[in-house]
Amino acid sequence: MQFGLWFEPEMVSRDSELYRAHPDWCLHVPDRTRSEGRNQLILDLTRPEVCEYIVESVSRVLGSAPITYVKWDMNRHLTEIGSAALPSERQRETAHRYMLGLYSVMERITSSFPHVLFESCSGGGGGRFDHGILHYMPQTWTSDNTDAIVRLKIQFGTSLVYPISSMGAHVSAVPNHMIHRVTSLKMRGDVAMSGNFGYELDLTTFTEEERELAIQQVALYKELREFVQFGLFYRLLSPFEGLDAAWMFVSEDGKDVLACYFNILAEPNSPFQMLKLKGLDPERNYRNVDTDELYGGDELMYSGLALPLQHGDFQSKFFRFRMEE
């Protein structure tokens, strides 16, 4: 374990020395109510002096201890989008100038602390999942909704625009804190391994069986991490179009393959199903790492892989292949 911090540098509370000293340093419109969110107002990052204050304050904290991780959160909407530093005819520039100020702050802080991993978060997840922020923060907390079934759609959709390595994906406790669904630790782990894998729950509540499974999941992800995060990603079955989902990863050299299948809801007398893979070499053979069965690349892509009959809802299955030399 290494030391990390979670904070919201862009916020200010009314009950603070900063606000009392500089009440005009927040976004506001004169003679209008200053709307609070989580008992906070938003600092006016169009002002160079405010940006300087944030850089100095954050840098002082990061330099005070062996900190290697920062979650940079922003948990409220911009309201009363006005700046006391701009004339009336330029007030419509405020939102844009705010983001320019934020980028300048992040540029200075991340450059000064290159050893720190910065993770972006906003509004419970992907509110700031944009390419500008990714320039400074290589991963984003994809969503506070960590239910494995909902995450199939969230991660599938996010992957249309953003790389797998940028998506924070964690195993959380059940019943899920947002929708109270119960899914197995295996299902939660398999879904989370298709992103930036981690756990956020009380490990001391695990049964002996769950502890052993968690150890296995961590060991497996260490094996898969390189080509899951930096290999080629293929979407096979969309969770938006049926009761299952599937995707796969192929290492950059084409030798390692991971196909992930997720059954959302079981059906009686469900039809026999073949999962057609992508991105393989049709002229090469691939060996199933777990069963030692040998398949042709053309066979896996054009005929497909026979899916086992799933018993019960919320089931998942990994298929690992290694290209034969």
Give the tens place of pLDDT for each residue, 279-304.
999 999 999 999 999 999 999 999 99
β strands within the chain, DSSP E: 3-7, 11-12, 41-42, 67-72, 117-120, 139-141, 167-172, 196-200, 232-237, 244-250, 256-263, 274-275, 285-288, 294-296, 305-306, 315-323
Query: Which residues on adjacent β-strands are paired with residue 37?
Result: 40
Which tokens sit at 294?
A: 């040998």
The string of pLDDT tens digits covering residues 198-217 is: 999 999 999 999 999 999 99
Domains of the chain: 1-141 (3.20.20.70), 235-323 (2.60.40.1180)
pTM: 0.92
The set of catalytic residues is 73, 144
At 242, the amino acid letter reads G
Phi, psi (degrees; rounded to nearest 5) at 39? 60, 30
DSSP 109-124: HHHH-TTSEEEE-BTT
Contact yes or no for 24/84 (Cβ under 8 A):
yes
Answer yes or no: is pLDDT of 308 > 90. Answer: no
Q: How many CB atoms lie within 10 A of CB 55?
A: 18
pLDDT at res. 123? 87
Buried b (16+ CB within 10 A) or exposed e, 131-153: eebbebbbbbbbbebbbbbbbbe
pLDDT at res. 127? 87
**pLDDT confidence band for 109 (50 / 70 / 90):** very high
The string of pLDDT tens digits covering residues 121-136 is: 998 888 888 889 999 9
Contact yes or no for 262/315 (Cβ under 8 A):
yes
Q: What's the burial of 309, exposed, middle or buried (CB within 10 Å: 0-12/13-18/19+)? A: exposed
The number of C-alpha atoms within 13 Å of 183 and in the hemisphere containing its C-beta is 28
Beta-carbon contacts of 84 under 8 Å, excluding residues fewer than 6 positions away, are 24, 28, 30, 44
**pLDDT confidence band for 268 (50 / 70 / 90):** confident
Give CA–CA dist 197/125, Å, rounded: 15
Beta-carbon contacts of 159 under 8 Å, excluding residues fewer than 6 positions away, are 167, 233, 235, 247
Q: Average pLDDT, stretch 113-118?
A: 97
**pLDDT confidence band for 26 (50 / 70 / 90):** very high
pLDDT at res. 285? 98
The number of C-alpha atoms within 13 Å of 291 and in the hemisphere containing its C-beta is 9
The string of pLDDT tens digits covering residues 216-255 is: 999 999 999 999 999 999 999 999 999 999 999 999 999 9
The string of pLDDT tens digits covering residues 141-189 is: 999 999 999 999 999 999 999 999 999 999 999 999 999 999 999 999 9
Phi, psi (degrees; rounded to nearest 5) at 302? -100, -30
Phi, psi (degrees; rounded to nearest 5) at 21? -80, -30
| Distance (Å) of CA 303 to CA 8, 189, 274, 292 | 51, 29, 7, 19
Residue 89 DSSP code? G
Give CA–CA dist 203/144, Å, rounded: 19
Which tokens sit at 289?
A: 């790492």
Mean pLDDT of the chain: 95
Q: Is 111 left (phi over 0), alpha (psi -120 to 50) or beta?
A: alpha
| Distance (Å) of CA 197 to CA 124, 187, 235, 287, 295 | 18, 13, 19, 26, 29
